[in-house]
Chains A and B, each alone.
Chain A
Amino acid sequence: MSAMSWVVWRQYRAQAAIAGALLAAFAALILVTGVQAASQWHSALTACTAAHSCGNLANSLFLGSHAVGFLVIMTLGVPVVLGMLLGAPLLAHEFETGTSQYALTQTVTRRSWLAAKTGWLLLAAAVIGAIVSVLVTWWSGPDNALQADAFKPGRFDIMGIVPVGYAVFAMALGITAGALLRRTLPAIGITLGGFIVVRIVIYFLVRPHFMSAVTSYFTISRGFTLAGSAWQLAAGFAGANGQPLNLPQATNGPVIGNAAGIGLPVSSLPAQCQTAGHGYLPAIASCAQAHGIRGYVTYQPAGRYWAFQGIETGIFVLLAAALVAVTFAVITRRDA
């Protein structure tokens, strides 16, 4: 072990022990409840296959417990906690207590001092993020099969490889904020705010456009069901020119068709269709079809799940790399 790695170990062994203990407790909880949920899922699947009634299983079966389910959602916060408690103080605490004057005047160069500290901490963040994600992904397996929602925002963010990217980014953000501000508390505040803002911007504004979405059109009378765990972005009805129909926000009148829960009010159809067949709905539907009105669903197909995971992880790793570069530039140029 190099001298610097030994220093890092001595500085962080208490934190490492605490993190290890918390991870072990979380793993025990997840394993116990996960095995229960999996056996519940298998017996329900066997029972409903025998009775040919698996169709409504998603509505009637609830897997796991509320408390553990809540804890699993809370793993969204694991990366930012790492960044706040381990990343932000990494440099800021040295500056605040003046130990940087000692650390930066040794035979070890600043560059290798910084490389060892940030390297080990980033690695720790990646490992913790990966362990939590593996546990959550395994635990969510039956639920993903049941609800087919692994691609949906919120679920996508706690499974697969993206938590590793988030953890590395949050740690780098904490380290950089500490290097620039030289004070721990403001750096913690910036890490928290910055992480939340970047995550929201990317998941809300950028992620839907990683790849151009697919739009499927379907006849009103047939309806349409997305295959597998696809991510639905929009749904509605379009006229013959392909433009989405402007539907009223609510209607008390009759409705035809169904695009992912959205009905097409008869009052939004061309006038001659509204009175077709003296109000007999199938006749109205075929009139609307004759006018070229179709349903549409815009979505990201289930097959793109891992491509999206890769793109999102790549973005956060690149952001982390940029932040680490800033930290190196600031530290190597600063007076001790």
Chain B
Amino acid sequence: MTWLVWRQYRVPGAIAVALLAALAAVILADGLQIASHWHSVLVACSGNSACLQQQGPLVNGVVSDLPYLDLIVPAVLGMLWGAPLVAHELETRTSDFAWAQSVTRTRWLAVKAGWLLLAGAACGAAIAALTTWWSGPINAQSATAFTPGQFDTQGIVAIGYAVFAMALGIAAGTVARRTLPAIAVVLGGFIGVRLVISDFLRQHYLTAVTTYYTVGGSFTPPGQAWVLAQGGVSPTGVVVRAGWGDLEPALPASCQRLLPALGSGKNSSLNPVFSCMQAHGWRGFVTYQPASRYWPFQGIETGIYVLLAAALLAVTYVVVRRRDA
């Protein structure tokens, strides 16, 4: 069976390896350049943090979009490898032949799906490893490894995404029995699940930490923390988000009177308003996930996708077993 899988997939495998090699070459060449740039910045700034923050972005041009390419690689694997795995056999009726052999149907499925899932996981791991290395200096400069978008392309989560997309493709192809609809399901389903989990679920994996400080002061969570919300909160629980766009209606009348002075001259500041807010019991707040939770979050997210993949594979197994050849 393993030999059969090899014969069926040696061309797609060779194409994938060639594309990965090309991507690796681009990322390595660019990553070395970024690393040397960052090193010279570190030397020139010699530990002055203000100097480090004044430096422009480390990446420019087309390579800065590479992480976005990483986001779609799992979906592509699921569409081009996962969806046809069973559907193409059913469509071309080669399943009639494959399922009438001495090898049992479940073993046929287990070996095919097993190798393809392994290949998907390996592709995801290779791309995640390259991107994590490439992002090193950017993480060090801007401390953004935990923020949505960066989190999704680094560490181990990409392996979970790849395994899930592949399993989604296999399951959709088995249920729909046709390749093209299965490809569409993978595309829509993968994007939908990723959006829901990254936008709504991820921030609740562990209860966020909220730190209060004096209004007008500031507090920055240390390291690569993920800031979920910040601003000011009144004693009665009225929240004004940072940027202070909707500050005015939330303030007590005595503090509102201090606002129109704003912008009348260059020296105007929010300080009198902040003192007034302080007197009325307002506090500044930052709600965040601390930097130390980065790897627990990576683990939880990967675990969710691996579990989803396992559920999809169970569905596939049941459908293939019960279906007439």
Contacts and interface: CB of A to CB of B under 8 A. Distances in A.
Interface of A: 18, 44, 47-48, 50-53, 55, 59-62, 66-67, 70-71, 74, 77, 81, 84-85, 89, 93, 184-185, 188-189, 192, 196, 200, 204, 248-252, 261-263
Contacts of A200: 62
Contact of B195 (A55, A67, A84, A250): A67
A200 to B, nearest CB: 6
B44 A61 contact: no
A60 B245 CA distance: 7
A222 to B, nearest CB: 17
B180 A250 contact: no
Given A47-B245, A70-B199, 17 more contacts: A47-B248, A51-B262, A52-B264, A59-B243, A61-B243, A61-B245, A66-B148, A67-B195, A77-B72, A84-B183, A184-B179, A200-B62, A204-B61, A204-B62, A251-B44, A251-B51, A252-B51
Contacts of B101: none
Interface stretch (B76-84, B122-130, B153-161, B291-299): B76-84
Given A67-B195, A189-B80, A250 B55 contact: yes
A312 to B, nearest CB: 16
B32 to A, nearest CB: 15
Interface in B45-92: 45-46, 48, 51, 54-56, 61-62, 69, 72, 76, 79-80, 84, 88
Given A53-B263, A74-B191, A60 B180 contact: no
A18 B185 CA distance: 12
B286 interface: no
Size bracket, chain B contacts:
35 or more
A261 B41 CA distance: 16
Nearest to A61: B245
A62 B243 contact: yes
Given A44-B245, A192-B76, A250 B51 contact: yes
A77 B75 CA distance: 12
Contacts of A188: 79-80, 183
18 contacts: A50-B260, A51-B259, A51-B262, A51-B263, A53-B262, A55-B263, A60-B243, A60-B244, A62-B243, A71-B195, A81-B187, A93-B180, A248-B40, A248-B44, A249-B40, A249-B41, A250-B41, A251-B44
Q: From DSSP, what is the main secondary structure of chain A's interface residues?
A: helix
Nearest to A203: B62
Interface of B: 15, 37, 40-41, 44-46, 48, 51, 54-56, 61-62, 69, 72, 76, 79-80, 84, 88, 148, 179-180, 183-184, 187, 191, 195, 199, 243-245, 248, 259-260, 262-264
A16 to B, nearest CB: 14
A199 to B, nearest CB: 10
Contacts of A74: 191
Given A85-B180, A251-B44, A185 B195 contact: no
A49 to B, nearest CB: 10
B36 to A, nearest CB: 9
Contacts of A184: 179-180
A323 B56 CA distance: 42
A185 B56 contact: no
Contacts of B79: 188
What 8 pairs between A and B have smallest CB-CB spacing?
Answer: A53-B263, A60-B243, A52-B263, A250-B44, A250-B41, A204-B62, A51-B262, A51-B263
B46 A252 contact: yes
A74 B194 CA distance: 13
A59 B244 CA distance: 11
A32 B48 CA distance: 47
Contacts of B184: 18, 85
B243 A263 contact: no
Contacts of A44: 245
B129 to A, nearest CB: 22
Nearest to B200: A67
